[in-house]
């Protein structure tokens, strides 16, 4: 069942196209990731899905309801957590929860039950009297998540929930998200972290407002036609020396290594090694590897640039 979808969604800010004709279908009960670099349009897309922005053209539909036309009908169905900490630093954890409960018009009796549930869920019970500004980054994210859950949304939209938090808090946040998903909440989150793609049933790759792909992450990796060579070298002018290789489609840094992207069937390690050595490129290590999700993303970007 499709719980949320976009139809030819387009958003322009003056002369800047932020979202460019995106068609997206979110299945109920899934964890969906929207992945892309800063400035790709992730936050704008999420704000359109939450009904916080109106499209320039196209539409966002929750079940059968067009959000821009009937925002009041869906406000209790959708939970939204912005990227930046937007709670009140001079209020305690408990006071922030009470404030958001009042916003959602939660009754006193329901609040008493729900606040205990959310404090336990977010593991913030021991910090309920702590000012929000004194919480760690990870705790602030968990508080923001708890505040977005008072009305028990059917779908939760999270803008970079794990950005800027330490690895342990990041792991704890994911445990909370899995717990929510197991309770039937559909989760759509944005992230710049490619490794988080593996946590999703489906992932959308976005670049300069365009949706490059939307599929199961393992399937995207399997469908990549290019072959990847991992090279370790201290050569500084490698791009210049390799620019005339017709079978070499792309080259980019990947951690402490370089990834050389070749057309399918054009990779012969010994031949590539000999050619590198003939051009006086010192090789520390060279091997053929299985593409990563980041390789898929770079490949799709390169394809767009070539077509344009």
Segment 52-89, tens digit of pLDDT: 999 999 999 999 999 998 888 887 889 888 887 677 88
Give how far Cα 112 sits from Cα of 60, 131, 154, 188, 218, Å.
35, 20, 22, 28, 43
Measured in degrees and rounded to the nearest 5, phi and psi for residue 31 equal -105, 120
User: 243 or 9: whose pLDDT is higher?
Assistant: 9
Reported pTM: 0.85
**Fold for domain 2-216?**
Rossmann fold (3.40.50)
Residue 83: closest CA among 148, 171, 18: 148
Q: Are 98 and 119 in contact (CB under 8 A)?
A: no
Cβ contacts of 175 within 8 Å, gap of 6 or more: none
DSSP string, 18-36: EEEEEEEEEETT-EEEEE-
- If DSSP codes are grouped into helix, strand and coil, which group holds residue 51? coil
Tens of pLDDT along 189-208? 999 888 888 889 999 999 99
**Running DSSP on this structure, what letter comes out for residue 138?**
H
Q: Which CATH class is domain 225-290?
A: alpha beta
CA torsion through residues 6, 47, 75, 185, sign: positive
CA distances from 260 to 242, 297, 306 (A): 10, 14, 17
What pLDDT, in 10s, does the model give residues 121-167? 888 999 999 999 999 888 888 898 888 887 778 999 999 888 877 88
Domain range summary for the chain, segments of one domain joined by +: 2-216, 225-290
């Amino acid at each position: 069942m499709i719980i949320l979808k976009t139809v030819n969604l387009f958003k322009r800010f003056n002369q800047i196209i932020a979202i460019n004709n995106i068609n997206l279908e979110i299945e109920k009960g899934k964890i969906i990731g929207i992945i892309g670099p800063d400035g790709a349009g992730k936050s704008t897309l999420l704000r359109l899905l939450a009904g916080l922005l109106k499209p320039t053209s196209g539409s966002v539909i929750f079940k059968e309801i067009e959000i821009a036309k009937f925002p009041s009908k869906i406000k209790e169905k959708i939970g939204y957590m912005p990227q930046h900490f937007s709670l009140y630093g001079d209020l305690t954890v408990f006071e922030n929860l009470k404030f958001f409960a009042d916003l959602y018009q939660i009754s006193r009796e329901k609040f008493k039950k729900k606040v205990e549930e959310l404090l336990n869920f977010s593991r913030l019970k021991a910090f309920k009297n702590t000012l929000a500004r004194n919480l760690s980054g990870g705790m602030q994210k968990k508080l923001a998540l708890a505040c977005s859950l008072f009305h028990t949304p059917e779908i939760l939209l999270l803008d970079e929930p794990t950005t800027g938090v330490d690895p342990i808090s990041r792991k704890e946040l994911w445990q909370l998200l899995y717990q929510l998903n197991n309770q039937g909440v559909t989760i759509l989150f944005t992230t710049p972290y490619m490794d988080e793609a593996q946590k999703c049933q489906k992932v959308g790759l976005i670049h300069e407002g365009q949706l490059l792909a939307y599929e199961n992450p393992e399937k995207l990796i399997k469908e990549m036609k290019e072959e990847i060579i991992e090279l370790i070298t201290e050569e500084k002018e490698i791009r210049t020396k390799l620019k005339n290789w017709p079978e070499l489609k792309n080259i980019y840094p990947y951690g402490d290594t370089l990834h050389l992207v070749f057309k399918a069937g054009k990779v012969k390690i010994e031949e590539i090694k000999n050619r590198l050595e003939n051009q006086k490129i010192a090789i520390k290590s060279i091997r053929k590897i299985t593409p990563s999700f980041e390789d898929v993303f770079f490949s799709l970007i390169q394809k767009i640039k070539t077509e344009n």
